[in-house]
Amino acid sequence: MAIATTNVRKHLTDIKEWQKLGEANIFPPDSRLELIEGEILEMAPIGYNHSGHVMRLMNFFAPLLNQKAIINAQNPLQLGDLSEPEPDFMLLKPNDDFYCSRHPNADDVLLLIEVADSSLSFDQNQKLRLYASHNIPEYWLMNLNDACLEVYRQPHGDCYGEKTTLRVGDSVTLSQLKQITIDIADIL
C-alpha cells in the first residue's frame, strides 16, 4: 500500500501583508517580531546589558553628529519586499520629516549596529547576509559575549568584503561619516 505524501510549503509574508497584520493588531502589543526574508520571527527579549549598550550608543553618538545624521534605535528598516528588521541602532541620512511618512530603507543607512549576546549567531549569519545583500555600507556587530566590535564593510552579494575585529584600546572611523572617529572603550 502506497502512502500519499505532500510537499510542505512555507507561506512567506511580504511587507504589505506584514503591515496589514500589524494594523489589524494580530500580534500582542509586547511581542518582539521581525520580518526576515518573508518569515515572521520572534526575537529574544532584550536584557539589561543589551538595552544598556543601546542607550550608551545613543548617548555617545548624539553630541557627535551635529545634524549630519538621524539616530534611530530599534525601529523598522524596510529591506526590499520581504524584510523589515528592527536593528538595535542606526545612523540615517538626514530627512526633512524624520521618516514620519515612510520607514527608512537601505539607501538611508549610514551605519547599522546590532548589539548581540543571545542573538550572536543569528546576527553573525542571517542578519549579516540580509544587510550585505541590501548593500548596507557599514554593519557593526557589538559582540557582548567576546567583548569586541566586529566591523563589516564593502558589501558584495550576501557577504562583506572587509571584516575587522576591534577591542578596548582600538578606535574606528565611520566609513560614511569620516569626520567621526571613536574609541571602542567609549561604546563597549
Instruction: Report pLDDT digits (tens) over 131-160.
Output: 999 999 999 999 999 999 999 999 999 999
Confidence at residue 3, expressed as pLDDT on a 0 to 100 scale = 62
Q: Could you tell me if residue 31 is inside a domain?
A: no
Strands 171-173 and 181-183: antiparallel
* Residue 147: all three cell numbers together: 567583548
Q: Could you tell me if residue 129 is inside a domain?
A: yes
pLDDT tens for 17-71 read 888 888 888 888 788 888 889 888 888 888 999 999 999 999 999 999 988 999 9
Q: Could you tell me if residue 30 is inside a domain?
A: no
Residue ranges of E strands in 11-108 = 33-36, 39-42, 70-72, 89-92
Mean pLDDT within 67-94: 96
Confidence at residue 43, expressed as pLDDT on a 0 to 100 scale = 86
- What distance in Å separates the CA atoms of residue 91 and residue 61, rounded to the nearest whole number? 9
Label residue 69 exposed, middle or buried (CB < 10 Å: 0-12, 13-18, 19+). buried
Domain with 75, as residue range(s), is 48-186
With cell 534611530, the residue in question is 72
- What distance in Å separates the CA atoms of residue 1 and residue 112, rounded to the nearest whole number? 56
Q: Could you tell me if residue 36 is inside a domain?
A: no
| CATH number of the CATH domain containing 182 | 3.90.1570.10
Q: Could you tell me if residue 93 is inside a domain?
A: yes
Q: Could you tell me if residue 165 is inside a domain?
A: yes
Q: Could you tell me if residue 35 is inside a domain?
A: no
Q: Could you tell me if residue 7 is inside a domain?
A: no
Taking a C-beta distance cutoff of 8 angstroms, is the pair 149, 183 a contact?
A: no
Confidence at residue 5, expressed as pLDDT on a 0 to 100 scale = 60
The number of domains in the chain is 1
